[in-house]
Structure formats: C-alpha cells, structure tokens
C-alpha cells in the first residue's frame, strides 16, 4: 500500500477507523472522510503519532453535491485516487411493519446511493489514471435474510449487484471493484446489540466458528482486495462470516 492514496468513508469509528489505521501502518496515505470532523482529527493525530500519513475531509455521503466537492478536493490535493473503501453505513433495524419512509430513505441514501456516487467520483479519477481499487463493505445480510433487517438487507443486496456492474464497466480501465461481506463485528454500531447476552448468544449460535469477527479479520480482506496483487479479482464478494451463510 506504500504511497497509495486511499480514501476511506465512514472513517471516524468502528471498522472504518480500524482499517484506516491498518492501511496507514502499511504506508498508505489515508484520506479519512465522515461527518464528524473532530473524531477524524483525533484519528489523524493518532495515525501520525504512529508514523503514518492521514488527511481529513468532512463528508456526508448522503449528499451527492458534497461527494462531488470532496472527491474533487481530494483529487486537486493529491493528483490521483488509488483506492476507495466504501465503508460508511448505517446498521439500525426495525421489524418490517415498523419501517417508516424516513428510515428507508436514510438507510438507502447512505448505504446504497452514497456508495454509488462515491464510486462514480472515485472511478472518474481512477479511469484517468488507468488504475484503481474499490472495496465495498457489504454484509452477510446481503446474502441471507436476517429478521428485522429488511431495509439493511435490501441496501446490502444492492451493494453486491452494484459491485458487479461497476466491475464489469471498469474492468478494461485497470480498476477492480469488489465487496466484502462480514458477519457481526464488535464496533460502536453493534455494541448495544452485542452487549446484550441473549442477543450475543443468538448470534454466536449462528456462527459455526463460534465467535464474532474482529476489525483485524475485516482489515486483512480489505488489504488484499485494495492491494496491487489482486488485479485478477473483480466483481467478487468475499464472505467473512465464520460460516453463518453456509447453513
């Protein structure tokens, strides 16, 4: 990853923050994006203290005009974008009968619309450079139904097919587009659920390896797909679920 310009959306906490640190350790220049600029600045300081290089851009991925401005700004500053990790996402859930229009619109605008337009902007600059890696953080919920997750499952199912279409459109341009599909991973986004012993027990019963994923498990897959040696892998969805979806 040395000297690669790597944009990570939703970098302020959880998986996004963890993978940003791992990528910086490998020599990438990480461009941290999310809405909470103060958290991003703290992460940047932490990365720099450990000898890495990080920059911050405030970005709400539900706004297409913000995406255009921020990716334009990143390109102006660095002259290229080598890697995009589309990680920003919401994971809250409701029983299908309780979903309001607002819930649908909010989740779709972040998990699916935002991911598409970030890819479009990064893809535009990657095509100019003849090289690029896009890694979309999907979910096991893109592959199997999970009760009370109708909107989430729909958004992540959409991510999988977008991944294939973009991979097909941009394969000849030197760009690969892949997804990963993690199982439950302990982050601020899942802490409330996983800290409930009954919920955790139910989750672990469904994971044959008997444990939830760690951010390092996720980072290892991303590092492979975002790196220069994965050029023959495109349109794939690497499942990191400890076996949840094989049953």
Ligand X SMILES: NC(=O)c1ccc[n+]([C@@H]2O[C@H](COP(=O)([O-])OP(=O)(O)OC[C@H]3O[C@@H](n4cnc5c(N)ncnc54)[C@H](OP(=O)(O)O)[C@@H]3O)[C@@H](O)[C@H]2O)c1
Catalytic residues: 152
Stretch that binds ligand X, among 24-32, 166-174, 187-195, 225-233 (CB under 6 A): 187-195
Select 121 or 139, whichever has its Cβ closest to ligand X: 139
> Applying CB under 6 A, which part among 45-53, 71-79, 83-91, 160-168 lies near ligand X?
83-91
Tokens of 69: 């401005």
- Smallest distance from ligand X to CB 167, Å: 19
3 state SS of 174: coil
**Is residue 182 a contact residue for ligand X (CB under 6 A)?**
yes
CB 91 within 8 A of CB 152: yes
CA distance 11 to 34: 6
SS (H, E, C) 88-144: CCCCCCECHHHCCHHHHHHHHHHHHHHHHHHHHHHHHHHHHHCCEEEEEECCHHHCC
Per rule CB under 6 A, is residue 36 in the interface with ligand X? yes
| 214 within 8 A of 186, measured Cβ to Cβ | yes
Indicate whether 58 belongs to the interface with ligand X (CB under 6 A). Answer: no
Interface with ligand X, residue 62, by CB under 6 A: yes
Site string for ligand X, 13-32 (x = CB under 6 A): xxxx----------------
Alpha-carbon 115 to chain mean position: 8
Q: Out of 54, 74, 110, 223, name the contact with ligand X by CB under 6 A.
A: 110
Residues with Cβ within 8 Å of residue 157, at least 6 apart in sequence: 142
Among 190, 203, 225, 237, binds ligand X (CB under 6 A): 190
**Site for ligand X (CB under 6 A): which residue of 61, 167, 203, 221?**
61
In this chain, which stretch among 60-68, 75-83, 167-175, 201-209 interacts with ligand X, using CB under 6 A?
60-68
Q: How many residues does the chain have?
A: 247
Binding piece for ligand X, criterion CB under 6 A, among 42-50, 77-85, 89-97, 165-173: 89-97
Q: How far apart are CA 132 and CA 181, in angstroms?
A: 20
**Interface residues with ligand X (CB under 6 A)?**
9-16, 34-36, 39, 59-62, 87-91, 110, 137, 139, 182, 184-185, 187-190
């Amino acid at each position: 990853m040395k000297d690669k310009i790597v944009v990570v959306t939703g970098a302020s906490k959880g998986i996004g923050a963890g993978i940003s640190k791992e990528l910086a350790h490998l020599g990438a220049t990480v461009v941290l994006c999310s809405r909470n600029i103060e958290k991003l600045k703290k992460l940047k300081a932490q990365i720099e203290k450990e000898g890495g290089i990080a920059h911050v851009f405030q970005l709400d991925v539900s706004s297409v005009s913000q995406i255009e401005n921020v990716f334009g700004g990143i390109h102006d500053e660095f002259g290229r974008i080598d890697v995009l990790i589309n990680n920003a996402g919401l994971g809250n859930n409701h029983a299908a009968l309780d979903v309001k229009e607002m819930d649908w619109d909010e989740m779709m605008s972040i998990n699916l619309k935002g991911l598409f337009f970030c890819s479009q902007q990064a893809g535009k600059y990657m095509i100019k450079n003849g090289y690029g890696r896009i890694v979309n953080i999907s979910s096991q919920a893109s592959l199997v139904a999970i009760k009370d997750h109708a909107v989430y499952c729909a958004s992540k199912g959409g991510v999988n097919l977008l991944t294939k279409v973009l991979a097909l459109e941009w394969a000849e341009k030197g760009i690969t587009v892949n997804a990963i599909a993690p199982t439950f991973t302990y982050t601020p986004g899942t802490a409330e659920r996983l800290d409930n012993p009954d919920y955790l027990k139910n989750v672990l019963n469904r994971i044959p390896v008997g444990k939830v994923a760690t951010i390092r498990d996720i980072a290892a897959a991303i590092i492979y797909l975002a790196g220069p040696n994965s050029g023959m892998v495109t349109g794939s969805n690497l499942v990191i679920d400890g076996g949840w979806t094989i049953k």
